[in-house]
Amino acid sequence: MALIRFAPRFNPIDALLSLQHELDRVFESPTQGFDLGLSGRGVFPPTNVFSDKDGYIVRMEVPGVAPESLAIEGQGRTLTISGKRETPAPEGASFHRHERSSGEFSRSLQLSTDLDLTKAEATCKHGMLTVRIPKKEEAKPRQIEIKAA
């Protein structure tokens, strides 16, 4: 399978627009994430998976979720992220609008065998969870130098 990828060029003027186009393009692509086995498409939290030269990055939008309530579990090839989102309101308050849903969530994905789940790291900032999973040492691309003849 030939892999021709459009690498997003970060032109400062429309960096956001080119990122949005790139994400749209992958969203509509027929082979999207076919090997990831991500559970529950369309279920909270919305998840994007990216790759760079060092491994994979899983990003989830989790606004209103306390980082302490997130449980990120790695077992074998499966990464499971679960937690609880609450939308508390004081007693006696009357709602004018309630668009934000609350409840528990759990999503899992299967990663490829060249990723090392034991070295995964997660950060949660501004309601965005980022999990970085590096490639195993032997799977990292090796630079081959050209020797002087």
Partner 1 sequence: MADKELTTYKKQELTGNELTRPGRTYVPDVDIYETADSLWLRADMPGVDEQSIEINVNDGVLSIEGQVEVKDYENLMPVYTEYNVGNYARRFTLANTIDAERISARMKNGVLELELPKAEKAKPRRIAISAN
- Binding interface with partner 1 (CB under 8 A): 5, 7-8, 10, 13-17, 19-20, 22-24, 26-27, 32-33, 36, 38, 40-52, 56-57, 61-67, 85, 87, 89-90, 92-105, 126-128, 130
- Token pair 């999503």 in the structure block, residue: 107
Cα 140 to Cα 14, 52, 64, 99: the distances in Å are 32, 11, 36, 44
Buried b (16+ CB within 10 A) or exposed e, 100-110: eeeeebebbbe
Within 10 Å of residue 60's Cβ, how many Cβ atoms?
23
Nearest residue (CB) to partner 1, 71 versus 128: 128
H helix or E strand, kind and range, residue 129: strand 128-134
Nearest residue (CB) to partner 1, 26 versus 72: 26
Shortest distance, position 119 Cβ to partner 1, whole Å? 18
Nearest residue (CB) to partner 1, 93 versus 149: 93
Shortest distance, position 29 Cβ to partner 1, whole Å? 9
